[in-house]
Structure 1
Amino acid sequence: MLYISDNLKWLRSRRNMSQQEVADGMNLPVDRYKKYEYGKNTPPAETLLAISRYYYISIDLLLTVDLRKISIENLLQLEDNRIVLPVVVDREGNNLIEIIPHKAQAGYLTGYADAEFMESLQQLTLPFLGPGKFRAFPIDGDSMPPHNNKTFVVGKYIENLGEVRNDKTYILITVSEGITYKRLSKKNPDSFTVAPDNVIYNPYDIKLSDILEIWEYVAHIGRDDSKQETASALSVEQMFQSLSNDIKEVKQKLA
């Protein structure tokens, strides 16, 4: 059952706005918008995206959840962050972690909501992480020792600001910086104060309106330069495939 019609009526009533005002806010003809509220038509994908961004509510919630029965105030209220993040599993039911290689960092800001882009990424299984949506990001620079540009950090997707805690580290996807990995120092009404672990760098504020995604750090994967065959001679795919094979061998021995 789709709840988009009822949800549109309820969301508009919460703002005490007319159909014309809401349609104008979404840059839609009011006659077309009325058909969505009355349940005569279902909004196409591009219109669902416009509605999602207008109300800061994910498309999956707009379609499949009766919003009158949940507390949407507790949902993450971040600009353009109302994106569905499907949890993809392998044949054994383990979550698949998309790996964002260095060369894909620039494209991530425009592709994080693009299913085709995400499907093109290499994937890794880390069963010990448990349930949740995870993604691996590359680290640049020396602001978060012992992690450096030879490290990938694995983050768990955060859906609710109430889950964010001071003194924990997070991968923040922002409009201005792209992918950044920092420690949260303070939660402000409209911003986060973040601090690098390297003391030579100063703390600074990131506006909530600048944040697209929040991922809580749960693990990292580095490389050993002391080995004769350095990681620079390996592709990212080879590195993670080797790790996956090692994990499978351990699971087989424990079985």
Structure 2
Amino acid sequence: MSLFSDNIRALRAKHKLSQEKVAEGLDITRGRYVKYEDGTSEPPYEILKKIARFYQVSLDLLLFVDVRTVDLDTLLKLDNNRIILPIQVDSFGENRIEVVTQKVKAGYLSGYGDPEYIEQLQQIYLPFLGNGKYRGFPVEGDSMPPHQDGDIIVGRYLEQLGEVLSGKTYIIITRSEGMVYKRLNKKIENSLTVSSDNFFYPAYEVRASDILEIWEYQCNIGRSDKQSEALESTSIKNMFIELKNEIGDLKNKIALTN
């Protein structure tokens, strides 16, 4: 037996369907379906997709999560075959916000779609946020002032990449870079150009195919009340002009001595 065969058997029982009825819905014979359910045969990818659509669940859930331990009604309904996203609510029906702390950040890439992992995260409640699915993520480094290392950025989950807007900031979860918090500069069909608010860090592109999740900034939770040391844009410009002139003078002196 496999987790997959246990899952499809549990889903069939939950929906009170016969093997014949499920096989008919998948457009295969009952004999072929029975082999999937008893674990003697594994379905090809096309049949996996059909099963996911039939039960309106994701492939991640079918293959990696024991559906007997999950309340399917609390999962955010996404497009077919996309990752599952559990919604946590308290006894009053208020949306609880999971917080990904620095301690558990490293495991988020492998656990972001696992309800058991999400349930173990610390949780908070912020009544002013309103409807939506929210999650808190830690900030690292100094690339996004005034947010400081250790602050928590609370983001609202976006189901579609097309919802992002230039000029806004986002927590972006990618396969290659992990978790980053950046400002969106430009959006094209297959990628996003993002940048830090700290001008010392260059902008770069994120491929759409590399993005696992994207969360739009809603609020910041921090402990510091330090006054930001903002510089006027003219001061910054003058500083770079002076630096450029000094570098030019240095190059001229080197050229004269050679």
In the TM superposition, structure 1's runs of 4+ consecutive aligned residues that sit over 4 Å from their partners are 4-9, 27-30, 39-47
The one-letter code sitting in structure 2 at the alignment partner of 1:128 is: F
CA distance in 2, matches of 1:175, 1:118: 18
Matched with 2:134 is 134
RMSD: 3.9
The one-letter code sitting in structure 1 at the alignment partner of 2:62 is: L
CA distance in 1, matches of 2:170, 2:102: 18
Cα distance 1:42–1:198, how it changes in 2: closer, same or farther (>3 A)? closer
SS of residue in 2 equivalent to 1:84: coil
Offset of 1:89 from its aligned partner? 1.1
The one-letter code sitting in structure 2 at the alignment partner of 1:92 is: F
Matched with 1:146 is 146
Structure with greater Cα Rg? 2
Q: Does 1:48 align with 2:62?
A: yes
Offset of 1:49 from its aligned partner? 4.5
CA distance in 2, matches of 1:29, 1:123: 38
The one-letter code sitting in structure 1 at the alignment partner of 2:214 is: I
Offset of 1:42 from its aligned partner? 11
CA distance in 2, matches of 1:135, 1:8: 36
Q: Does 1:207 align with 2:207?
A: yes
The one-letter code sitting in structure 2 at the alignment partner of 1:207 is: R
CA distance in 2, matches of 1:170, 1:198: 15
Cα distance 1:41–1:193, how it changes in 2: closer, same or farther (>3 A)? closer
TM-score normalized by structure 1? 0.61
SS of residue in 1 equivalent to 2:209: helix
Structure 1 spans left out of the alignment, 5+ residues: 10-26, 51-59, 66-71, 227-255
Matched with 2:181 is 181
Cα distance 1:148–1:46, how it changes in 2: closer, same or farther (>3 A)? closer
Matched with 2:6 is none
CA distance in 2, matches of 1:217, 1:44: 26
Q: Spell out, residue by residue over 1:60-86, the C-alpha distance to the aligned partner (whole angstroms, 9 max, x if none).
A: 8xxxx9xxxxxx9xx69xxx9x11212
Q: Spell out, residue by residue over 1:188-235, the C-alpha distance to the aligned partner (whole angstroms, 9 max, x if none).
A: 221100010001111100111111100000000000377xxxxxxxxx
Give aligned pairs, total.
Answer: 182
Cα distance 1:94–1:181, how it changes in 2: closer, same or farther (>3 A)? same
**Is the contact made by 1:134 and 1:155 (CA closer than 8 Å) also made in structure 2?**
yes
SS of residue in 1 equivalent to 2:88: coil
Offset of 1:162 from its aligned partner? 2.4
**Is the contact made by 1:184 and 1:194 (CA closer than 8 Å) also made in structure 2?**
yes
Q: Does 1:85 align with 2:99?
A: no
The one-letter code sitting in structure 1 at the alignment partner of 2:131 is: P
Matched with 1:220 is 220
Q: Spell out, residue by residue over 1:111-160, the C-alpha distance to the aligned partner (whole angstroms, 9 max, x if none).
A: 11111111111100001100111000000010000012121000000001
Structure 2 spans left out of the alignment, 5+ residues: 1-14, 28-40, 65-71, 227-258
Identical-pair percentage: 49
Cα distance 1:143–1:5, how it changes in 2: closer, same or farther (>3 A)? farther
Alignment of 1:10-89 (within 5 A): 28-29=42-43, 33=47, 48-49=62-63, 82-89=82-89
SS of residue in 2 equivalent to 1:87: coil
Cα distance 1:6–1:183, how it changes in 2: closer, same or farther (>3 A)? farther
Matched with 1:167 is 167
Cα distance 1:41–1:169, how it changes in 2: closer, same or farther (>3 A)? closer
